[in-house]
Amino acid sequence: MREILYKDALVEAMQEEMKRDDRVLVMGEDVAIYGGAYGATKGLYEQFGEERVRDTAISESAIVGAAIGAAITGMRPIAEIMYIDFITQAMDQLVNQAAKMRYMFGGKTTVPMVLRTEGGAGRCIAAHHSQSLEAWIMHVPGLYLVMPSTPYDAKGLLKASIRDDNPVVFIEHKMLYAMKGEVPETDYIIPLGVADIKKKGSDVTIVAYSRQLHVAMEAAAELEKDNISAEVIDPRTLKPLDLDAILTSVKKTSKLVIVSEGYKTCNVASEIAMLVMEHGFDLLDAPVKRVCAVDVPVPMSPVLEDAAIPNKQNVINAVKEVCQ
C-alpha cells in the first residue's frame, strides 16, 4: 500500500468529505492561503475556493461559535484551532454551547461540527504551545474526543468525525504530522468508539494514544527482549471510549499500564484506571499504573521538555513494576 504523511492523510480526509458533501466547510486561522500552520489543510483552498475554505481573524471564540451556528443551521463545519492551548479562549463556546445545545434544547438540534486542533510537546515551543489538554474535553458531556496516532487512523477517524452528527474535538499531535504510514486511497472510515490493538501480547496491557502510542510500542519492543509480552491498545477515540476492548485485554493479561502525555492530575489515564477498577477489579493481578506528564507547565529547554513528558524508559519501568 502507498505511504503518505499524517498531515496529508488529514488533507485527503477533508478533501474527500468536501467533495462528497457540499455542506462541509473549513475555517480557522491560516487554513486557506497558508494551508494550515502544520500543513493539514494544504491545497483545500486551491481546490474548493474561499467560500468553503476560510481564513479567519485570530478570534478563537468566534471561530468555534461560528462553527456552532453554521452546524445547527445545516452546514457541517470543520473549525481549526491552531494549538489546543488556544482553546482556552474558546472554552465558553465549546463547553457551554457546542456540548450542551442538543441536551439543553430537548434533543431538538444537532451540532455536527469538528473542531480540529493539535497538541502535545516535542518542538521546544514551551508552555503555551505544547500542552495535552484532552482531559478537559473528555470531562464534558456532549463532546466526542478523537486522537489519532497513525496516518491511517487520522484519515479514517477524521472522515467519521465529519460525518458524525455530534460536536467532535479532533486532536492531532504536532510530532506526528510528518509521520509516514500506509493509507488506502479508498474511501474508508473508522467508527468512533472502536479501539485498535496495535500489538498483541499476553503479559500486560498498555493503553496509549496519540504520540504516546509510539512510545508505548517502542517500550513493548524492548520488553520483548526481557520476555515480557505487552499488548498495546490504542483507544483512538477517548469519547466514546472502547472500554470493552480494554477489559477484554486486561482479562487476558491481568495487568494494566496507561500512558498519556497530559498532566498527571485528573488525567485521561486516571479515568481509564477507575473504569477498569469499577468494571474489572477482579481481572487485575496488580495495581494499575499510569505514566503521564509531570504536573508542570511544559518548559522550553529540550532537556526539561523531555523530562516533563513520558518516555520509553518510564513505560518500561511501569510495566516491570506491575509484572513483578
Partner 1 sequence: MKESKEELIGYLRKMMDIRLFEEKVMELLARNIIKGASHLYAGEEAVAVGACSAIEEDDYITSTHRGHGHCLAKGGKLPEMMAELCGKATGYCKGRGGSMHIADVTKGNLGATGIVASNLPVAVGAALSAKMRKTNQVVLCFFGDGASNNGIFHESLNMAAVWKLPVVFVCENNLYGMSVAANRCSAVQDMADKAKAYDMPNMICDGMDILDVKETIKKAVERARKGDGPTLVECKTYRYFGHSRSDPRAYRTKEEEKEWRNKCPIKQFSKKLTDNKILTEEEIAQIEKQAEEAVESAEKFAIESPYPDVRELMDDIYAPSPADLLNGGAIR
Q: Which amino acid makes up residue 169?
A: V
What number of CA atoms fall less than 13 Å from residue 51's CA on the CB side? 5
Interface pick for partner 1 out of 2, 106, 227, 303 (rule CB under 8 A)? 106
Q: Which amino acid makes up residue 59?
A: S
**Backbone angles phi and psi of 290, in degrees to 5:** -120, 140
Question: CA 296 → CA 210, 261, 277, distances in Å?
Answer: 20, 12, 28
Interface pick for partner 1 out of 28, 36, 112, 310 (rule CB under 8 A)? 112
Residue 288 touches partner 1, criterion: CB under 8 A? no
Is 173 known to be catalytic? Answer: no
Q: Which amino acid makes up residue 266?
A: C
Which part of the chain contacts partner 1 (CB under 8 A), choosing from 1-9, 37-45, 102-110, 305-313?
102-110
Which part of the chain contacts partner 1 (CB under 8 A), choosing from 110-118, 125-133, 250-258, 289-297?
110-118
Catalytically annotated residue among 128, 129, 139, 173: 129
Q: Which is nearer to partner 1, 71 or 323 (CB)?
A: 71
Which part of the chain contacts partner 1 (CB under 8 A), choosing from 2-10, 90-98, 226-234, 266-274?
90-98
Binding pattern to partner 1, positions 180-209, x when CB under 8 A?
----x--xxxxxx-x-x-------------
141 near 166, Cβ under 8 Å? no
What is the longest distance spanned by two Cα atoms in the chain?
60
66 near 72, Cβ under 8 Å? no
Q: Which is nearer to partner 1, 38 or 209 (CB)?
A: 209
CB of 255 to partner 1, least distance (A): 24
- The residue count for binding partner 1 (CB under 8 A) is 57
CB of 185 to partner 1, least distance (A): 13
Interface pick for partner 1 out of 149, 166, 249, 270 (rule CB under 8 A)? 166
Kind of pairing, strands 256-263 and 230-234? unpaired
What number of CA atoms fall less than 13 Å from residue 234's CA on the CB side? 25
Which part of the chain contacts partner 1 (CB under 8 A), choosing from 140-148, 256-264, 288-296, 304-312?
140-148
Place of cell 484551532: 81
Residues 38-67 that bind partner 1 (CB under 8 A): 51-52, 54, 56-57, 59, 61-67
Q: Which is nearer to partner 1, 85 or 164 (CB)?
A: 164
Place of cell 509480552: 229
Place of cell 479508498: 186
Which segments of 5-121 does DSSP mark as H helices, in order?
Answer: 6-20, 44-52, 60-71, 91, 101-104
CB of 66 to partner 1, least distance (A): 4
> How would you classify residue 167: left for phi > 0, otherwise alpha for psi between -120 and 50, otherwise beta?
beta
Nearest to 211 by CA among 145, 285, 119, 298: 119
Interface pick for partner 1 out of 53, 83, 84, 102 (rule CB under 8 A)? 102
**Backbone angles phi and psi of 241, in degrees to 5:** -95, 135
Place of cell 504510514: 181
Q: Which is nearer to partner 1, 109 or 229 (CB)?
A: 109
Q: Write out the catalytic residue numbers.
A: 129
Using CB under 8 A as the criterion, which residues of the chain lie in contact with partner 1 when the complex forms? Answer: 25, 51-52, 54, 56-57, 59, 61-75, 77, 92-93, 96-97, 101-112, 141-142, 144, 156, 160, 163-166, 184, 187-192, 194, 196
